[in-house]
Structure 1
Amino acid sequence: MIKKLLATGLLAAFSVVAQAQATLGGNLIVNGGAEAGVSGWTGFDGYPLFQSVDYGSNWVLPTQPGPADRGSKMFAGFGGQTAGFQVVELGVLAGQALHYDLSGWLGGWQTQGDNALLYVSFLDTVGNEIGFASIGPVMPADRGNQTGLFLRGASGLLPTQTTSLMFSLSMERQGGGDNDGYADNLSFVVTSAVPEGSTLAYLLAGLGLVGGVVVRRRSC
């Protein structure tokens, strides 16, 4: 489903003004925990936006599997297929060597195949996808056929040509009357891929190399 959305909606999504500026060490996904309703998310053309629902008997009980800091709300599907996106500009971080950590709690209802998928597009200056990361779906067998949300994660290096990120969350109904694809506590964090102190170490090593060459030349 996500690939279809990207093929039909990436240009329109890229034209949307970015909703946040990236900072190192902070969650770049706006309202990843559904506590602010669906604020921060925009629906794809032709697809309804997912909904923010209360934990409880109609969805996932507070006692069922899920994040310990789950708050009071989570995302749930709507209709047969539902999806939303948001765009974040890297700003001054663009071009830097960056490591990313993507995580989120995804799940569904009992033995039904309804599921959620979080997909991150790495975009260049003209909106071309030059890489991606994704988590999910979490299928019934992955959940032990129980209702709940389960942690999934992915990590890696951003292509250095990345200037913006597009986060796409989708839910698909495969059985029953409701779309029981669930998601909560979605997070995407970037940190410097250059270990702290390495720049200085490289500089000192370079100066040492230059100094050694000078000494050797003088001794000739």
Structure 2
Amino acid sequence: MIKHTLALALLAGLSLGAHAQAALNTNLIVNGDAEGDVAGWTGFDGYSMFQSVDYGPNWVQPTQPGPVDRGSKMFTGLTAQAAGFQTIALGSLAGQPLHYELSGYLGGWAEQGDNALLYVSFLDADGNEIDHASIGPVTPADRGNQTGLFLRTASGALPSQTSQLMFSLSMSRLGGGDNDGYADNLSFVVSSVPEGSTLAYALAGLGLLGAALRRRR
């Protein structure tokens, strides 16, 4: 697994030109389904990009575990360590109480330990990471040593100081000749906090809710 420090190391020298501004209730990850080859993703210096491949015998077959609406393509590694990223500005959504839903299908080949990780950095206006969320990796034990892709999710309150999002997808080869870390149908959606829950979400976004509950106990 390529650790999240890969993304953090790049931030120091990266000019975070976001592709677009965010909208509510839409997938903010560009080309998260691999149908557009690797469009929307940028490679990290010193690492190869992952690749978009057809479902089939060399990777995951259409009949093996994976998303129902999997399309024709998926992401997999190209070399032993593969990674790419993309950024998006929250724009007018910045500072609003927001809830996020992160999801994706991740997997690998049979009993091999090759895996994929999707990491989201919550960045302030200066490009500093103030928090993060991630899904993966999916281990052979998680997959029951099956070849395939399996749904993973994470959700929570978006930190109130978040101004930009950086999505980093990485694959690592731990065995065999190919990098069989797999990913497809990657999604990150933000939505408005339900009425009446604004205070709780604001506290959670500031990291204060847990501390407040501990003090009450």
Fold shared per TM-score above 0.5: yes
Distance (whole Å) between structure 2 residues aligned to residue 139 and residue 18 of structure 1: 32
Name the SS for the 2:132 alignment partner: strand
Deviation at residue 17 of structure 1 after TM alignment: 1.5
Distance (whole Å) between structure 1 residues aligned to residue 20 and residue 8 of structure 2: 24
Deviation at residue 22 of structure 1 after TM alignment: 0.3
Where do 1:7-86 residues align within 5 Å? 7-13=8-14, 15-86=15-86
Q: Specify the structure having the higher radius of gyration (Cα).
A: 1
Where do 1:102-117 residues align within 5 Å? 102-117=102-117
Distance (whole Å) between structure 1 residues aligned to residue 148 and residue 5 of structure 2: 27
**TM-score computed with the length of structure 2 as normaliser:** 0.88
Deviation at residue 85 of structure 1 after TM alignment: 0.1
1:2 alignment counterpart: 3
2:205 alignment counterpart: none
Distance (whole Å) between structure 2 residues aligned to residue 178 and residue 164 of structure 1: 34
Which deviations, in whole Å up to 9, do the C-alpha atoms of 1:99-156 show, x marking residues without a partner? 0000000000000000000000000010110010000000000000010000000000
Query: Which ranges of structure 1 fall in alignment gaps of 5 or more residues?
Result: 199-220
Deviation at residue 197 of structure 1 after TM alignment: 11
Name the SS for the 1:187 alignment partner: strand
Name the SS for the 1:47 alignment partner: coil
Which deviations, in whole Å up to 9, do the C-alpha atoms of 1:15-59 show, x marking residues without a partner? 141112100000000000000000000000000000000000110
Name the SS for the 1:142 alignment partner: helix
Deviation at residue 4 of structure 1 after TM alignment: 2.9
Counterpart residue type for residue 5 of structure 2: K
Contact 2:102 2:155 survives alignment (8 Å): yes
Distance (whole Å) between structure 2 residues aligned to residue 12 and residue 146 of structure 1: 40
Query: Which ranges of structure 2 fall in alignment gaps of 5 or more residues?
Result: 199-217
1:173 alignment counterpart: 173
Distance (whole Å) between structure 1 residues aligned to residue 151 and residue 68 of structure 2: 11
Contact 1:2 1:168 survives alignment (8 Å): no
Where do 1:63-212 residues align within 5 Å? 63-195=63-195
Distance (whole Å) between structure 2 residues aligned to residue 138 and residue 197 of structure 1: 33
**TM-score computed with the length of structure 1 as normaliser:** 0.87
User: Percent identity of the aligned residues?
Assistant: 70
Distance (whole Å) between structure 2 residues aligned to residue 166 and residue 51 of structure 1: 19
Counterpart residue type for residue 67 of structure 1: P
Distance (whole Å) between structure 2 residues aligned to residue 88 and residue 2 of structure 1: 21
Distance (whole Å) between structure 2 residues aligned to residue 121 and residue 143 of structure 1: 27
Structure 1: 4+ residue segments shifted above 4 A: none
Which deviations, in whole Å up to 9, do the C-alpha atoms of 1:154-188 show, x marking residues without a partner? 00001110000000000000000000000000000
